[in-house]
Amino acid sequence: DSGVTQTPKHLITATGQRVTLRCSPRSGDLSVYWYQQSLDQGLQFLIQYYNGEERAKGNILERFSAQQFPDLHSELNLSSLELGDSALYFCASSVDGMNTEAFFGQGTRLTVV
Amino acid sequence: SQQGEEDPQALSIQEGENATMNCSYKTSINNLQWYRQNSGRGLVHLILIRSNEREKHSGRLRVTLDTSKKSSSLLITASRAADTASYFCATDALVNDMRFGAGTRLTVKP
């Protein structure tokens, strides 16, 4: 158990809908990362937060948004969903987001039908 | 965009053999990390090597880093069937994000 909790584990929704993925980081970790992994592909870096502030942005679509709350949990919002958004979405946390080991959640498997 | 690229994409070996995977990256880094992923599961951190280090060991793992060539290698010695997984390198570039390559899928046959 990495200590990172992602909910829900599975999500099936229709095209055009909006969903929210939630991540609770490991206790004491201030930085949260979000990644998208399509079938048998590598991990695409979406966005990183540190202590509530956005620190780095990757290949995150405009239809997607995220935030990190004062209690350090994070949410990834995906809207106007398309079939191609079907993927595993991983959250990871690290102590300070700088040169340190990251701990991954088990992911949310999103299926858009 | 991806920062690290692993090579080969897939590797199949017999139990007991050594497995070597390589990672190349594009920009200067502060550190490079290797992670392992069992199918459909979250990634698990294996080892971190800093830009001023050249080699690091952890159990059956040996990682090397050549910053002049912008490359790293992960060696797993005396492989076991349980080592079957995908292996990813991650680099942080200079903005402390953490970007992964496409991974090497390792199959260790019993």
Instruction: Give the pLDDT confidence of B14-32 residue by residue, as tens digits.
Output: 999 999 999 998 888 888 9
Q: Which amino acid is at A97?
A: G
Helix, strand, or coil (residue A22)? strand
A11 touches chain B (CB under 8 A): no
pLDDT given at position B26: 85
What whole-number distance in Å separates Cα of residue B53 and Cα of residue B58?
A: 14
pLDDT given at position B28: 84
pLDDT given at position B40: 81
What whole-number distance in Å separates Cα of residue B41 and Cα of residue A70?
A: 28
- CB–CB of B100 and A35 under 8 A? yes
For residue B1, pLDDT over 80 is answered with: no
- CB–CB of A99 and B30 under 8 A? yes
Chain A residues closer than 8 Å to B2 by CB: 42, 44
A27-65 tens-digit pLDDT: 999 999 999 998 767 889 999 999 999 998 988 999 999
Comparing A16-25, B34-43, B93-102, the range with the smallest average pLDDT is: B93-102
- CB–CB of B92 and A99 under 8 A? yes
Handedness of CA A54, B97, A87, A8 (dihedral sign): negative
- CB atoms inside a 10 Å sphere around CB B83: 18
Tokens of residue A87, six digits: 């993927």
- CB–CB of A48 and B96 under 8 A? yes
Question: Which residue, among B41, B48, B96, would best test binding to A if mutated, counting the most A CBs under 10 Å from its CB?
Answer: B96
Cα A12 from chain centre: 16
**Mean pLDDT computed over every residue of chain A:** 93
Mark out chain B residues that contact chain A at CB-CB < 8 A.
1-2, 30-31, 33, 35, 40-45, 48, 50, 88, 90, 92, 95-103
**Measuring CA to CA, how many Å separate A99 from each of B34, B70, B74?**
13, 17, 18
Rounded to an integer, the average pLDDT of B32-36 is 93
Distance from CA of A17 to the nearest CA of B (A): 24
Residue A83: band (very low, low, confident or very high) from pLDDT cuts 50, 70, 90:
very high
